Amino acid sequence: MIVRTQAVVLDLEPLSNTSRRVVWLTRDYGRVTTIIKGAQRPKSFFLGQYDYFYTCELLFYRRGSGLLRTARECSPIKTRSALRRNWPAAAAASYLAGLSRAASPPEAPHPRLFALLDQTLDHLAAHPPAPALLAWFELALLAISGLSPRLDNCLVCGRDIRLGSKNQHFAYARGGLLCPACAKHEKTPARRVTPDVLAALRAWQRSPTPTVPLRTRITPRQMDSLLALVGHMLAYHLELAPPGRRIAVELIRNTTVRPHRPPAASP
């Protein structure tokens, strides 16, 4: 049976001298791995039709019990060429693609993850990358996985936790906040969270787009704290701790935009 769907390229590698294995996140079938036969031949009609971070229209044979499918056709819908000119943005896109691959079981439909990745790659291709975008994506991934951290009240006693409250603790193993009284008796790992970081976490968690996180004024210290909290959630509940996260954040932070200077006038 031949099926048609939209798909984002997550990874690709040579399979032989002429063929490639491509891993996709599809809108309708989840993570799919295909073989593209003859993809590296000079006259292949697949040349230029797919690459890292492309969103394509993909046709593949969905038959048999194996998990390596055969691609019949693909054509690009979004090429996101800007990601091939900006190393920090490419590193961020690579991290998000790897995270999506690890979070999606093979051939299990995950349309919300597809939409999230497609939207975030669009933003990366059109705007300068920022660590806040990565944190927002991670929070959204936790949400669609049913693992959103509980940030409005204490996990144990249920007491409301108001913004500005001090001495709150984030128990990532339990998935949310503990008030000071309950934190004293908690035996699972917990990290202290300051009111400013908690306010950012709440706002970013509720934002359906990355607009709010990217407009938030946040210091490197606050960003590090927020990333650490979300990272603990990913590692504990989804067993995800890709090394590309640290690399992407460092590249984004170390990149400086040099102003254009006109050439000096000839004497």
Q: Are residues 105 and 151 in the same domain?
A: no
Provide the residue range defining the domain that includes 192: 130-240
Give the pLDDT confidence score for residue 255 in this predicted structure.
77
Q: What three-state secondary structure class fits 144?
A: helix
Give the pLDDT confidence score for residue 261 in this predicted structure.
46
Asked whether residue 178 is assigned to any structural domain, the reply reads yes
Q: Are residues 76 and 144 in the same domain?
A: no
Number of compact structural domains in the chain:
2
Give the pLDDT confidence score for residue 106 in this predicted structure.
94
Q: Are residues 141 and 233 in the same domain?
A: yes
Give the pLDDT confidence score for residue 244 in this predicted structure.
87
Q: Are residues 134 and 169 in the same domain?
A: yes
Asked whether residue 97 is assigned to any structural domain, the reply reads yes
Q: Find the DSSP H helices in the chain.
A: 87-103, 111-126, 131-144, 180-183, 195-206, 211-215, 220-237, 244-254
Give the pLDDT confidence score for residue 163 in this predicted structure.
79
Give the pLDDT confidence score for residue 264 in this predicted structure.
52
Asked whether residue 228 is assigned to any structural domain, the reply reads yes
Q: Which residues of the chain have pLDDT under 70?
A: 64-65, 256-267
Q: pLDDT, tens digit, for every residue of 27-46? A: 999 999 999 998 888 888 89
Q: What is the CATH number of the domain that holds 64?
A: 2.40.50.140
In Å, how far from its chain's centre is CA 173? 21
